[in-house]
Every structure is written in structure tokens, then in C-alpha cells.
């Protein structure tokens, strides 16, 4: 066991289970561009049902799901309000501008969480010579703020007031099932007021590939054309949807284990003198800590850690992210924390 790699870089690293691989091998398939893949259709119907929406669309990635929704909601030359450390602004290759033709207008949240007060100040006045605010996009859980969760009341309030101002709201819900687990509420309830939601099957839920977007029938039909334009019209993709269906049914039920592991990891790391981390802020499966009290840069530390078979990613020059998921168990979490302590020992 000494050589086992403990991979905490992301919950995207999970491998499909034997049950998923079997389902993939046996999946009923057809050409999804002709709407004829029965397994894709089943996955989309089930996602729409779980989220209490009219329709859903399978997309190859969270990035394409977000971009598809952004294009569907906006016109070139308009603006999107989003959080300063959010994924759509920092990790999606500037696609909203490069492809979607819109400008991000970023607002800093408190631990990644925006309020209506901060958002409303960034809305452009309705004057013909100003670029117009076409969309607000929130992220729940917020990845780079450390997996933080929107209180449902706050998300509802933001959506309600945005709608009063005539602005739709998109949710980057890549890890929305983690948020639902933390809140002990269901995803349909916590996403009810959003105009569109993107969520990932390929993160904590454990599927190898794929995301879904959910919304009204009319919105999803628009998204289907945009997905095709982006090159995301897939053919016998039911082999992916087969794994996705298992992820969607079984994945959410075990996320509490990842959250418990993240709590344990955070409290063990917080006890290391060289680390700055408040374990009370860890709500879901993401742990971000600061090395500013140590002599290490994040890059050097991660290299030393990698040599000891523990993998994580940098957030910036001083901060490191670790993510718990279904392919790491409690004993590996303990071991990873012990190795971090050894590496940081002065
Ligand atoms: N996040 C990845 C990296 O890109 C950082 C990760 O390891 O966490 N929204 C959010 C909130 C995400 O965290 C991610 C992926 C995406 C969208 C994009 O999903 P994919 O990777 O499927 O395009």
C-alpha cells in the first residue's frame, strides 16, 4: 500500500465503478443528434424530473454547459455579473467573451457568496449608450472559495430581485448535490428560482464524463442548437449516459461521507502550525489552506508532497486545494494529513 497515490487534486479524478462500466457496455444507444439515443433520453428525463423542470440536456462538460446557457441567455455586447473567484470567470478559457461575445462584470463575494446588495450595484443603468446587464451567474457550491454553500433564502432572494429587474439568473451548480447534502434540502428546491442550472455528473457523483443543463422546454431547445454549434452534438453517447444514470441515482446518497472526510482532513491540517485554515468554514468536500506561515510556496510544497504520493492543486502562490471524493477513504485522509505534517516540519 506504500505506493498508493492519494489523489486529492479534484473530485473529477474518480474512476467509473464496475457497475458503471457494465452499464456502459450494455447501454442501449442510438444517434443523439437525431434524438434517438434511448439512454441519453432517459438520463435527460430523469434529470428534469429530479430538478422539477420541463427539460434537460446532456453536455460533454460543465464548461460547455455553462457556455451554452450563457449564449442562450445573452446577445453579443452585453454583460454578465459573476463572482470574482468564480469558475466561469477564471477557469473557462474566457469562453463567455471569446465565443459568447459578452463581458464579465465581476463582483467579490463573502467566501464566494454574493448578496443582492453587491450585485445590484453592478447592474448597468438602462441607458442606450451603456452595455446592458443580461445575466447574473452564481456558483453553488463555490469551488475556489472552498466549497461554500448559498443559503437557500439568499439564492431565492437574489433570483427574485433579479427577475424584478428583468434579469435572468444562471446557476453553475457543478457541485449542487454537495450543496443539497450540506443544506439537507433537495436540489429541486434549492435551484427552483434559477432560470437555468448546469450540474456535473463527473465530479462527486462519480461519472467519467458529462454534465446536464436543466430549464424550461423552450430554453433547452435553444440550448440544443447552441450545443450543436459548439461541437457538442454527440452520437451514440448513451454509453456515457448509462454511467451518468448510475451517478445521478447513487452519487448524491454518499456525498456526506466526502463531507465528513473533508472535515476530518481540515481539522488535522489546521492543527499543523505552518498551516492557516479555519476548519469551521469547511462545509462540503473542498479544503483550501494557506501556507503563508511556512517557508513554502504552494508550488514547492506540492512538488514535495507529490514525491510522497499525495496530490493536490495550487489555488495561488500560497494556497493549496484538496478535494475529497469517492476514491479516497478515511484511512487515506489520515495518511495524507500525516504526510503533509511531515513535509512541512521545519
Ligand atoms: N472544476 C475543476 C477545475 O476546472 C478547477 C475542478 O477540479 O474543480 N463549474 C465549476 C464550479 C467547476 O468546479 C468546474 C470544474 C466546472 C464548472 C467545469 O466543469 P468541466 O471540468 O466538466 O468543464
Do residues 50 and 98 both lie within one domain?
yes
180 domain residue, yes or no: yes
pLDDT tens digits, 273-315: 999 999 999 999 999 999 999 999 999 999 999 999 999 999 9
282 domain residue, yes or no: yes
Task: Quote the ligand 1 centre to 141 CA distance (angstroms).
Answer: 11
| Strand 196-200 versus strand 169-172 pairing type | parallel
pLDDT at 227: 98
Do residues 235 and 261 both lie within one domain?
no
Per-residue pLDDT at 2 exceeds 70? no
Q: Is the CB of 142 under 6 A from ligand 1?
A: no
Q: Is the CB of 145 under 6 A from ligand 1?
A: no
pLDDT at 1: 45
String of DSSP letters for 200-246: ESSSTT--SS-EEEEE-HHHHHHHHHHHHHTT---SSTHHHHHHHHH
Q: Return d(Cα 320, Cα 285) in angstroms, integer.
A: 14
Cell of 198: 448546469
Higher pLDDT, 1 or 336: 336
Domain boundary among 227, 251, 275: 251
Per-residue pLDDT at 105 exceeds 70? yes
- Region 178-196 average pLDDT: 98
Do residues 62 and 78 both lie within one domain?
yes
Do residues 138 and 226 both lie within one domain?
yes
pLDDT at 57: 99
pLDDT tens digits, 32-66: 999 999 999 999 999 999 999 999 999 999 999 99
Do residues 154 and 86 both lie within one domain?
yes
Domain boundary among 199, 232, 251: 251
1 domain residue, yes or no: no
Cell of 204: 462527486
Per-residue pLDDT at 141 exceeds 80? yes
Per-residue pLDDT at 325 exceeds 80? yes
Task: Quote the ligand 1 centre to 63 CA distance (angstroms).
Answer: 7
198 domain residue, yes or no: yes
Looking at the 3D structure of the chain, how many domains does it have? 2
Per-residue pLDDT at 142 exceeds 80? yes
Q: What percent of the chain has pLDDT over 90?
A: 99
pLDDT tens digits, 158-172: 999 999 999 999 999
Q: Which domain holds residue 262?
A: 6-13+254-344
- Region 90-101 average pLDDT: 98
* Per-residue buried b or exposed e for 272-299, using 16+ beta carbons within 10 Å of the residue's own CB: bebbbbebeebbbbbbbbbbeebebebe
CATH code, domain carrying 92 = 3.40.640.10
Do residues 55 and 148 both lie within one domain?
yes
| Strand 211-215 versus strand 313-314 pairing type | unpaired
Domain boundary among 230, 251, 272: 251
CATH code, domain carrying 314 = 3.90.1150.10
For residue 175, give the ligand 1 atom closest to its CA: 11
Do residues 243 and 173 both lie within one domain?
yes
pLDDT tens digits, 171-186: 999 999 999 999 999 9
- Region 4-11 average pLDDT: 97
Q: Is the CB of 10 under 6 A from ligand 1?
A: yes
The model's pTM is 0.98
- The rounded mean pLDDT for the chain is 97
324 domain residue, yes or no: yes
According to DSSP, the residues that pair with 290 across neighbouring strands are: 276, 319
Q: Is the CB of 200 under 6 A from ligand 1?
A: yes
For residue 139, give the ligand 1 atom closest to its CA: 11
CB 57 within 8 A of CB 201: no
- Region 141-159 average pLDDT: 98
Q: What percent of the chain has pLDDT over 70?
A: 99
* Per-residue buried b or exposed e for 206-244, using 16+ beta carbons within 10 Å of the residue's own CB: bbbbbbbbbbeeebbebbbebbeebebbbebbbbbbbbb
115 domain residue, yes or no: yes
Reported as half-sphere exposure (CB side, CA atoms, 13 A), residue 124 has a value of 20
Per-residue pLDDT at 201 exceeds 60? yes
Furthest-apart CA pair in the chain: how many Å?
65
pLDDT at 3: 66
Amino acid at each position: 500500500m506504500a505506493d498508493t497515490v492519494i489523489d486529492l487534486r479534484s473530485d473529477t479524478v474518480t474512476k467509473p465503478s464496475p457497475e458503471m462500466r457494465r452499464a456502459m457496455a450494455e447501454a442501449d444507444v442510438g444517434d443523439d443528434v437525431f434524438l434517438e439515443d434511448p439512454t441519453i433520453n432517459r438520463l435527460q428525463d430523469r434529470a428534469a424530473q429530479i430538478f422539477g423542470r420541463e427539460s434537460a440536456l446532456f453536455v460533454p462538460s460543465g464548461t460547455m454547459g455553462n457556455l451554452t446557457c450563457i449564449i442562450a441567455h445573452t446577445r453579443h455586447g452585453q454583460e454578465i455579473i459573476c463572482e470574482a473567484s468564480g469558475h466561469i470567470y477564471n477557469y473557462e478559457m474566457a469562453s463567455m467573451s471569446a465565443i459568447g461575445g459578452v463581458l464579465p462584470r465581476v463582483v467579490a463575494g463573502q467566501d464566494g457568496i454574493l448578496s443582492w446588495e453587491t450585485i445590484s450595484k453592478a447592474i448597468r443603468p438602462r441607458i442606450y449608450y451603456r452595455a446592458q446587464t443580461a445575466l447574473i451567474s452564481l456558483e453553488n457550491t463555490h469551488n475556489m472559495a472552498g466549497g461554500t454553500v448559498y443559503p437557500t433564502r439568499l439564492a431565492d432572494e437574489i433570483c427574485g430581485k433579479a427577475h424584478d429587474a428583468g434579469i435572468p439568473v444562471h446557476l453553475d451548480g457543478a457541485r449542487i448535490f454537495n450543496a443539497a447534502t450540506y443544506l439537507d434540502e433537495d436540489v429541486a428546491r434549492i435551484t427552483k428560482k434559477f432560470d437555468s442550472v448546469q450540474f456535473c455528473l463527473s465530479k462527486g457523483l462519480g461519472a467519467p464524463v458529462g454534465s446536464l443543463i436543466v430549464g424550461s422546454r423552450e430554453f433547452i431547445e435553444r440550448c440544443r442548437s447552441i450545443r450543436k454549434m459548439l461541437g457538442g452534438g454527440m452520437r451514440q453517447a448513451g454509453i456515457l449516459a448509462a454511467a451518468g444514470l448510475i451517478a445521478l441515482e447513487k452519487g448524491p446518497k454518499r456525498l456526506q461521507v466526502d463531507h465528513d472526510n473533508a472535515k476530518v482532513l481540515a481539522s488535522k491540517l489546521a492543527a499543523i502550525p505552518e498551516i492557516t485554515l479555519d476548519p469551521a468554514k469547511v462545509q462540503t468536500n473542498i479544503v483550501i489552506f494557506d501556507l503563508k506561515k511556512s517557508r513554502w510556496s504552494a508550488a514547492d510544497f506540492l512538488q514535495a508532497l507529490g514525491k510522497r504520493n499525495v496530490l493536490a492543486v495550487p489555488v495561488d502562490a500560497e494556497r493549496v486545494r484538496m478535494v475529497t471524493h469517492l476514491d479516497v477513504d478515511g484511512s487515506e485522509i489520515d495518511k495524507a494529513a500525516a504526510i503533509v505534517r511531515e513535509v512541512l516540519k521545519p
